[in-house]
Amino acid sequence: MIESTFDYIVVGGGAAGCVLAARLAADGGKSVVLIERGRADTNRWIHVPATFFKALQSQDAEAILSEEDPSLDGAIYPVPQGRVLGGGSSVNGMIYMRGQQQDYNDWATVQGCDGWAYKDVLPVFIRQENNQRLSSPFHGNGGKLCVADPVPPHPVSKAVIEAAINSGIPGTDDFNGAVQQGAGWYQVTALDGQRQSSAHCFLKPELYRDNLTLQTNVQAQRIQFKNKRAVALEAKSGDGSDLLIHARSEIILTAGSFQSPKLLLLSGIGPREQLIKHGIAPVHESPLVGSNYQDHVGTPVTRELKGVKGLYGADRGMQALKHGISYFATGSGLLNSNLLDAGACVDTSACGRADVQFNFAPFAPGAPGRPPMECHAVQVHPMTMRPESRSRLGLRSGNPSDAPLFESHALDSEADFDTLRRGVRLAQDIFNQPPLSDLVGDEIWPGSNVSTVKGSNTLDDAIRKQARTIFHPAGTCAMGGAETSVVDPELRVRGVDNLRVADCSVMPALVSGNTNAPTMMIADRCADFILAVSEE
């Protein structure tokens, strides 16, 4: 057994953990260790914006597989997750979107999360951000996270934006401003051909500090408690050595919506019956650990391109060579692109808030969990923004090496189904508008054999087969004002001391948009809470 001691232990070196560990070390002056079960972010595909899909297919990502999902006709629902320094921020599509103002106001007023209204979180987004175009009152220019416009914008995506506007969707140049709704270019966490991950922007500039230690290839096993006080982390290194890391102050879980609840359960915090079933001595009964799982679900409407080319074949042969020369010799060309460079947020139900997000991209996604199709095509990809369907995580066994038990109900809510139906119909309308209508041929999905009129059983069947994750799992350690919530509004785990969770698992309700920026914001707020305690 190899033992060590630090003031703070941060478990999970993903989007949240890199932000939190860096803040605690830089601003707190105490010793911090950051534990990451994956390897360092040395994979070159991570750092080149256009090759993120290669990183997703490497050892730096893993797919969590569900049990058979009854809402998807018994299909397995795979959810890829980063397993590398930087986590999801190292393998994602780099879209910078915070969600809607009302998302956070609802956290405060509906879920009882005092201090999490939009007025509370906006200053944190602003201080983190180094926006290359936008500024006050919604954006910052002095932070560490570089946010920029997509380069180079793809001409097919430009045609989709124009078609969306011609369909009646207003144009926008900022999805994070006063109003989210509209169609336009995304802003992205990439700049000058370099992915702006949390590891790159927040952690690495602080690694010179003597009080900050990074340990990769270390698997957390369980937390040790003494009189309900978290005192140490049991872990195992990549060479099989047993580690015991003591915490003088706090342990903070930043391992994400799958691994954070799993570690709580392994440590005796969760539903009592489940703990006893797997031979785990209960430390605190917390029935909601692992529940409230939610994710954005999408179904990409796709058509062939005619007369113009998309991205098919750009990573092969002479095309790949040409793009590589442009990138490495002149810093220009396609490899600078995040590929998912444009989209729209639309109120399809007249509820007063955008309820469907569309990604626009010049390639044809494959079946769920499969690589892109081999043809020149374009997608208008609708996805749920505020899903009502809920799934659950649990333990498969008491063995920390086993994957969590994932009981998926991705489209269990009729409301979510109806949202996707509206999204599919609007996507088809966008395809029928100029100038996009002049560039597309046959419909690949849902296809000519599927009726999309209201009441169509064939559309529902097609959606079940095509439904896929948008890589935004959240909610499994939800915070709230009630004593039954897993964590309180300062992210402290209820029922024990010196233990917090600070990642997307604490979201009581999934934000209306991508989760990378909100996850980093949550980590930064957690640092505020911890540092305020240390100053008392």
Tell me how many degrees the CA angle 153-357-433 measures, rounded to the nearest 5: 65
Task: Give yes or no: residues 461 and 507 share one domain.
Answer: no
Confidence of residue 236 (pLDDT cuts 50, 70, 90): very high
DSSP state of 186: P
Q: What is the pLDDT of residues 258-279, one digit of tens each?
A: 999 999 999 999 999 999 999 9
Residue 345's CATH number: 3.30.410.40
Task: Give yes or no: residues 88 and 221 share one domain.
Answer: yes
How does the average pLDDT of the chain come out, rounded? 96
Which residue type does 76 have?
A: I
In the three-class reduction of DSSP (H, G, I as helix; E, B as strand; rest coil), residue 370 is classed as: coil
Q: What is the pLDDT of residues 205-229, one digit of tens each?
A: 999 999 999 999 999 999 999 999 9
What percentage of the chain reaches a pLDDT higher than 70? 100
Task: Give yes or no: residues 365 and 481 share one domain.
Answer: no
- The reported pLDDT for the residue numbered 238 is 92
Task: Give yes or no: residues 369 and 433 share one domain.
Answer: yes
Does the pLDDT of residue 382 top 90, yes or no? yes
Does the pLDDT of residue 534 top 80, yes or no? no
| CA pair distance 246, 231, nearest whole angstrom | 6
Instruction: Respond yes or no on whether the N-terminal peptide bond of residue 137 is cis (omega within 30° of 0).
Output: yes
Of 431, 451, 466, the residue at which a domain comes to its end is 466
Confidence of residue 316 (pLDDT cuts 50, 70, 90): confident
Task: Give yes or no: residues 318 and 449 share one domain.
Answer: yes
Q: Taking residues 243-249, what's their average pLDDT?
A: 98
**Selected residue with higher pLDDT from 330 and 137:** 137
Q: What is the pLDDT of residues 399-420, one digit of tens each?
A: 999 999 999 999 999 999 999 9
Contact 337, 49 (CB under 8 A): yes
- The reported pLDDT for the residue numbered 102 is 98
Task: Give yes or no: residues 285 and 210 share one domain.
Answer: yes
Catalytic residue among 47, 200, 376, 472: 472
Contact 515, 93 (CB under 8 A): no
DSSP state of 277: H
Task: Give yes or no: residues 415 and 530 share one domain.
Answer: no
Total of domains in the chain: 2
Q: What is the pLDDT of residues 156-195, one digit of tens each?
A: 999 999 999 999 999 999 999 999 999 999 999 999 999 9
Task: Give yes or no: residues 87 and 201 share one domain.
Answer: yes
Give which of 113, 103, 481 is closest to 294, Cα–Cα: 103
Number of Cβ within a 10 Å radius of residue 285 = 14
Confidence of residue 436 (pLDDT cuts 50, 70, 90): very high
| Residue ranges making up the domain that contains 347 | 151-185+297-384+411-466
Does the pLDDT of residue 341 top 80, yes or no? yes
Active site residue 472: yes
Does the pLDDT of residue 535 top 70, yes or no? no
Number of Cβ within a 10 Å radius of residue 412 = 18
Of 449, 466, 483, the residue at which a domain comes to its end is 466
Does the pLDDT of residue 331 top 80, yes or no? yes
